[in-house]
Amino acid sequence: MTPFITRCALAGALATTLVLGVLLLASGFAYEADQAALRATYGSTLAEQLAASAIDPLLADEALRLTSLTQEMTHLSGVAWAALFDLDGRRLAGGEGAPAQRPPPNATRLFQYPLVFGREQLGTAAVALPETLRQRTPVTALATSALLVLLMGALGGWLGGILERRLGALRQRLEAKLGRSVPQTAPLAALIQLIDPPQQIAVPPAAEGKNAALEAATTEEDSVDDAARQAYLLVINLFNQSQLSPAARQSIFARLGQALDEQLAGTGGRRGFLSGTGLVALLPQSPGSLDPALEAIQLSLAARRAAEAALAEEATPGELRFGLERLDDGLASTTHPEALLTTASEAVYRTITLAALARRNGLVIGDAVMRSVDNVGALAAEPVAASALAALGAQDPAWRIGDRPPQTEAEGAATADPQAAAPETTPPAP
């Protein structure tokens, strides 16, 4: 008969392999669906950004700027080509690989956005993505894991058989030496009973209460640790930056990074750079926070004011837009922001889409952030139109949050107690 440890090892290996096989099939379908949604959001956002940046040079008839703009967009990661077409479908400007005539619409690969000035359409901005994004799929990793589990199960079964035979021989020698035997069939359990027979141990009631209190405290600490892992992602995009030289763009990003570092000092937040478009900041939740989502929104609005103040000394042709989204609970808040471009690419691109919907003096937050806010009355919020969300391929609701400058202490006291702030009047003498 197969030893008990060997049977357990083989059964565990087969069960794990079966589970990994099911996960292998499910992850393939889920990966394809996620990639399709991610491509749609990414392509729609780039097409809208290209259309917004091309209005000014198109009205000024500056072909060189239009060509530079499309080539810069073509060189972005995951973009096959970018081009601008007139109303007849002829190419006005385009990067490498752009066709001379506008191709027919393709919902999975070609994304278009109209060039509108006022109420007149001037043309179409088009961005094409490659057939595949050349990203590593989880199929290879799961298949390798299944093979390793099988090998480890076989090795564990072989080693388990050797161990169980040696434990059986040791049991026989110990029973002969002690002059007694035990009814246990498992060698390890039999050895334990031979060496140390079981005894009934009574636990005092006071000790039971102490253990229960210790378990409750441990559960509370675990819940605090889980809450502390929640984090929020802030994206700052610089739109309409085609008129900026590389040196000017670098100088602007440096001032924005310095202003953002001053706002994040002492909060545990960190920031990184988006490739050629803006900044990204990770805002972790403090353990003692009562309304973490509201604090993240207020910190984002403060960062917006600091960024605007940092660029107020000179006229910048670009426009800053801010988007805020909540990361999944499984993502560690200690991750570097730039690493989220690969570990949480879907959340990053969703936040980029929210930033594209933002306007001056505010930011756009996602549905997960709004649902996490306890004191909704403290926000000046309005929902984003469904048509604007559909134009960028966004599926979940979003809200525009207006910026409320912080009140001074005198204004706060007057708002809290109007009668105390009113001047005292002395009644006239009779």
pLDDT tens readout for residues 367-423:
888 888 888 888 888 888 888 888 777 778 888 898 776 554 444 444 444 444 444
Mark whether 155 and 234 lie in a shared domain: no
Sheet holding 231-239: strands in order across?
270-274, 278-284, 231-239, 319-326, 362-366, 398-402, 380-383
What average pLDDT does this structure show over 282-308?
Answer: 83
Q: Is residue 75 part of a domain?
A: yes
Looking at residue 367, its amino acid is: D
Q: Which region, left, alpha or beta, applies to residue 220 given φ > 0 means left and ψ of -120 to 50 means alpha?
A: alpha
Mark whether 354 and 247 lie in a shared domain: yes
Mark whether 167 and 235 lie in a shared domain: no
Q: Is residue 267 part of a domain?
A: yes
Query: Is residue 226 pLDDT above 70, yes or no?
Result: no
Mark whether 237 and 380 lie in a shared domain: yes
Q: Which domain holds residue 41?
A: 1-171
pLDDT of residue 234: 85
What average pLDDT does this structure show over 12-26?
Answer: 73
Mark whether 241 and 361 lie in a shared domain: yes
Query: Is residue 167 pLDDT above 70, yes or no?
Result: yes
Provide the CATH number for the domain around residue 306. Answer: 3.30.70.1230
Mark whether 7 and 116 lie in a shared domain: yes
Q: Is residue 394 part of a domain?
A: yes
Q: Is residue 375 part of a domain?
A: yes
Query: Is residue 310 pLDDT above 50, yes or no?
Result: yes
What average pLDDT does this structure show over 18-35?
Answer: 73
Mark whether 339 and 235 lie in a shared domain: yes
**Least confident residue range of 189-193, 255-259, 262-266, 357-361:** 189-193
Number of structural domains (the chain) is 2
Mark whether 234 and 365 lie in a shared domain: yes
| Range ranked top by mean pLDDT from 157-161, 367-371, 426-430 | 367-371
Q: Is residue 279 part of a domain?
A: yes
Provide the CATH number for the domain around residue 153. Answer: 3.30.450
Mark whether 129 and 274 lie in a shared domain: no
Q: What is the 3-state secondary structure (H, E, C) of the chain?
A: CCCHHHHHHHHHHHHHHHHHHHHHHHHHHHHHHHHHHHHHHHHHHHHHHHHHHHHHHHHCCCHHHHHHHHHHHHCCCCCCEEEEECCCCEEEEECCCCCCECCCCECCCEEEEEEEECCEEEEEEEEECCCCCCCCCHHHHHHHHHHHHHHHHHHHHHHHHHHHHHHHHHHHHHHHHHCCCCCCCCHHHHHHHHHCCCCCCCCCHHHHHHHHHHHHHHHHHHHHHHHHCCEEEEEEEEECCCCCCHHHHHHHHHHHHHHHHHHHCCCCCEEEEECCCEEEEEEECCCCCCCHHHHHHHHHHHHHHHHHHHCCCCCCCCEEEEEEEECCCCCCCCCCHHHHHHHCHHHHHHHHHHHHCCCCCEEEEEHHHHHHCCCHHHCEEEECCHHHHHHCCCCCCEEEEECCCCCCHHHHHHHHCHHHHCCCCCCCCC
| Range ranked top by mean pLDDT from 180-184, 236-240, 298-302, 355-359 | 298-302
Q: Is residue 4 part of a domain?
A: yes
Q: Is residue 189 part of a domain?
A: no
Mark whether 161 and 28 lie in a shared domain: yes
Mark whether 104 and 234 lie in a shared domain: no
What average pLDDT does this structure show over 74-99?
Answer: 88
Q: Is residue 220 part of a domain?
A: no
Entry pTM? 0.43
What average pLDDT does this structure show over 88-113?
Answer: 86
Query: Is residue 428 pLDDT above 70, yes or no?
Result: no
Mark whether 260 and 394 lie in a shared domain: yes
- For the chain, the average pLDDT equals 75
